[in-house]
């Protein structure tokens, strides 16, 4: 692969990438394999990944998907060749049609990832609220909702229907309805809900502690996140938001109407989120470097579990094949730095 820098304005770099025929052959195998795994098409009809994509999407959409999959496969290798860590890549253009066993060239713009420092790396001290406890009344409410849902399904009515008959929750009712989940008594049902609630509260509390610590580290952040970085990240978040709406079968206009929002308001909210994500990422990068943290295999496994729970092995293989191991390492290093923060921050519980 040949990578030529054709423009550099300090923050953005324009590259021209030329992939050999052999590299294009791999792009049409490994690249499409990675696409199929990413979008869970691996069980669909077709002997090859190309056939599965075309069968699932049709000729025109399949052609566009293949183009994107091939480009997405080539981009990480181009960045590795150039030695550039990106915040984002965009502006991909080519006058050529990618084909297997045929040389292919394209141009792309890289928003280069900067390195920031903190004014101090001394562990912070933060005050937090006491850890919340599971309320028995909440468990009562969860059981009530469960029984209402079960009864509505059994009686063929809506849960809020006035004709719904709600049975008393007894050991007999639990055994009749919850035994497939290994629950036979009311006490066991309450224990299950209590354990689930405690786990959820524990996760929320850990998130609150991390957010409080990050607020303190943000005060030590040196440098300025550029408007370009915020703009690019906002657009990425907006495109992800659109994809989520599409998966849920909701049109953009319907969402705006339901939420009483405008596109400008949504983008403004996403811009705030983008700036926060960038800031937190750069803080974690700085801590990882300064503390000379090292990645272990367990860190990579944890990162994979965070990216694709339940599909760690397939996703890891796909990321390795598609040259996105650098992205995986970035995620793992940031998780490692977050763990360091949680381990070294002094949390003081408010009276």
Residue range 162-220, pLDDT digits in tens:
899 999 999 999 999 999 999 999 999 999 999 999 999 999 999 999 999 999 999 99
If asked whether residues 108 and 143 sit together in one domain, one would say no
- The 3-state DSSP class for residue 30 equals helix
If asked whether residues 75 and 157 sit together in one domain, one would say no
How do residues 254-312 score in pLDDT, each as one tens digit?
A: 999 999 999 999 999 999 999 999 999 999 999 999 999 999 988 988 888 888 888 77
Helix-helix angle 263-290:227-247, to 10 degrees: 120
Query: CA 37, CA 212: separation in Å to the nearest integer?
Result: 37
Position 315 in a domain: no
pLDDT grade for 233, boundaries at 50, 70 and 90: very high
Which one has a higher pLDDT value, 37 or 158?
A: 158
Contact 55, 72 (CB under 8 A): no
pLDDT grade for 348, boundaries at 50, 70 and 90: very high
How do residues 129-145 score in pLDDT, each as one tens digit?
A: 999 999 999 999 999 99
Measured in degrees and rounded to the nearest 5, phi and psi for residue 314 equal -65, -45
Token output for 205 = 């509390």
If asked whether residues 107 and 142 sit together in one domain, one would say no
Position 306 in a domain: no
If asked whether residues 97 and 24 sit together in one domain, one would say yes
Position 35 in a domain: yes
pLDDT of 322 reads 66
pLDDT grade for 37, boundaries at 50, 70 and 90: confident
Domain total in the chain: 2
On average, the pLDDT of the chain sits at 92
How do residues 92-118 score in pLDDT, each as one tens digit?
A: 999 999 999 899 999 999 999 999 999
* Range in 39-48, 112-121, 228-237 the model is least confident about: 39-48
If asked whether residues 2 and 104 sit together in one domain, one would say yes
Position 186 in a domain: yes
Query: CA 7, CA 269: separation in Å to the nearest integer?
Result: 33
* Residue in this structure with the two tokens 């084909």, named with its chain if needed: 99
Position 10 in a domain: yes
Q: Using CA of residue 238, residue 240, residue 242, residue 245, what is the dihedral sign?
A: negative
If asked whether residues 21 and 107 sit together in one domain, one would say yes
Share of the chain above pLDDT 90, in %: 71
Contact 230, 274 (CB under 8 A): yes
If asked whether residues 20 and 108 sit together in one domain, one would say yes
Task: Write out the residue range of the structural domain in which residue 5 sits.
Answer: 1-113
pLDDT of 301 reads 87
- The 3-state DSSP class for residue 247 equals helix
């Amino acid at each position: 692969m040949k990578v030529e820098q054709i423009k550099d304005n300090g923050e953005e770099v324009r590259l021209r990438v030329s992939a050999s025929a052999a590299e294009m052959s791999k792009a049409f195998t490994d690249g499409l394999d990675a696409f199929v795994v990413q979008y869970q098409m691996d069980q669909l009809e077709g002997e090859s990944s190309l056939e599965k994509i075309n069968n699932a999407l049709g000729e025109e959409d399949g052609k566009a998907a293949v183009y994107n999959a091939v480009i997405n496969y080539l981009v990480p290798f181009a960045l590795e060749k150039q030695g550039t860590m990106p915040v984002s890549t965009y502006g991909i253009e080519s006058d050529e049609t990618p084909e297997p066993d045929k040389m292919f060239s394209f141009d792309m713009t890289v928003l280069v990832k900067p390195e920031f420092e903190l004014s101090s790396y001394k562990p912070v001290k933060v005050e937090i609220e006491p850890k919340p406890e599971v309320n028995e009344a909440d468990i009562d409410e969860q059981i009530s909702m469960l029984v209402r849902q079960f009864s509505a399904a059994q009686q063929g009515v809506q849960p809020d229907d006035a004709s719904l008959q709600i049975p008393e929750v007894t050991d007999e009712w639990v055994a009749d309805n919850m035994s497939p989940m290994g629950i036979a008594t009311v006490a066991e049902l309450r224990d299950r809900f209590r354990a689930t609630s405690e786990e959820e509260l524990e996760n929320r509390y850990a998130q609150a502690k991390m957010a409080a610590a990050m607020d303190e580290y943000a005060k030590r952040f040196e440098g300025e996140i550029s408007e370009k970085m915020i703009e690019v990240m906002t657009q990425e978040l907006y495109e992800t938001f659109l994809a989520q709406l599409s998966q849920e079968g909701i049109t953009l206009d319907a969402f705006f109407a339901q939420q009483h929002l405008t596109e400008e308001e949504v983008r403004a909210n996403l811009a705030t989120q983008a700036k926060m994500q960038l800031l937190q990422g750069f803080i974690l990068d700085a801590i990882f470097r300064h503390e000379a943290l090292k990645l272990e295999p367990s860190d990579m496994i944890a990162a994979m579990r965070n990216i694709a729970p339940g599909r760690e092995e397939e996703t890891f293989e796909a990321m390795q094949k598609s040259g996105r191991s650098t992205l995986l390492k970035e995620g793992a290093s940031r998780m490692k730095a977050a763990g360091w923060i949680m381990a070294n921050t002094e949390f003081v519980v408010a009276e």
